[in-house]
Amino acid sequence: MRAVLALVLVVSAACAGGATRSSPAPTAAAPSPSASAIGQIDVTDMMGLFPPATFFVVRPGREVAAIALLNHATKYTLPIEGEAQVATAPERGRVYVLDQDREGARLRWFDIASGTERASRIVPGALPVPTGAGHGTLAIDRSTDDLFVLLRQGPTMAIEQFEGSTLRPVKRLLGDLRCGDRLVASAGRVALACLGEGGLVVSDAAQSVKLGAKEALVSLAIAPNGTILAGSGDGRLFRLAPGAKGLDTIDTLRERGTRLVPDGIAAQADCCFVVGLLDRVANTQIRIVTGGFTLVLFPEGTPPTGGILFQAPFVYYTVGAQAGHIDVQQGFGEVMTSFGEREPVLPGAVADR
């Protein structure tokens, strides 16, 4: 009986293109070595073929572990409470962590190189919105250095905007939201998805618009140029290019009879996205198919947990208590580290250093 394997498909996407609120209470955040450093010998065992990268893996209720690509060592760990969301601004050397404090939602950023805490802020009475992954409701627009957070406050939710460096509150971008599951931001564009309803709210400097996919969604991603790609469970994709007024529907994957992995879309470049699918194949492999699609196959018996992330040339993912990656160019894949526990770990973010 053939095993059902999960496909990761690099999809070419077109290169087309609030009211002010009271400030959450700040928390003193003098630089401090809050991370737990891990003793190691820094042996880069990948023969210099790849630039450095760090995979941030969430161990819910315990820590965020920074795993080095080159030697698979744990560089340091960041303590967390409950579930956590992670995002990175690599060009500024920051990794952001959102979790829960006794007083409210806690937002921090750490130096990527050392794990030293640089800034922290508590949003009193607020709760992070859980995603079942280590990402999805915390987003940094790397073009503007604005940080966006989806928080639950009482019976509704809101998107709060903060300065990326100081974590100073800027404004409430959208408030009184009755639903919201995934948040992305890039190129001055912010998008919120209500997955179960198939709804999207897209905001930029000019306006906020509501769009409907007319079916439930399971994933949302945004390219550096602001191109948005969402997907339903049956593999139908919905693309919103910069400047576009409506969603373009792409049925190429749906026609294959494949299934989209939850949180299985990740931006690769302005033109491209990586998409995780379920399909029947014989073994793990890389395929180049007509149309310029690149397929990376994962066994369905051990599917990625919490979706996939991309940092060239690797797709990063977690399976159970293991963190791994696969090269989309050469088909080289391996387990980076195993945490040796029954509870699954989750992908948080990646950085190119």
* Residue ranges with strand state E in 39-129: 54-59, 63-68, 74-79, 85-89, 94-101, 104-111, 117-124, 127-128
Q: What are phi and psi of 256, to 5 degrees?
A: -75, -10
Q: What is the pTM of this model?
A: 0.88
Q: How far apart are CA 68 and CA 229, in angstroms?
A: 29
User: 158: domain range?
Assistant: 4-351
pLDDT tens, position by position, 42-83: 444 454 568 899 999 999 999 999 999 999 999 999 999 999
Dist CA 202 CA 173 (whole Å): 11
pLDDT in tens, 114-149: 999 999 999 999 999 999 999 999 999 999 999 999
pLDDT tens-digit series, residues 273-331:
888 877 775 455 666 554 445 666 677 777 889 999 999 999 999 989 999 998 888 88
Alpha helices in the chain (DSSP H): none
Residue-wise pLDDT tens digits, 223-266: 999 999 999 999 899 999 998 989 999 888 788 777 888 999 99
Structure tokens belonging to residue 271: 């033109």
CATH code, 50: 2.130.10.10
Percent helix, strand, coil in the chain, to 5, is: 0, 55, 45
Number of domains in the chain: 1
Main-chain phi, psi angles of 181, to 5 degrees: -130, -35
Burial of 34 (0-12, 13-18, 19+ CB in 10 A): middle
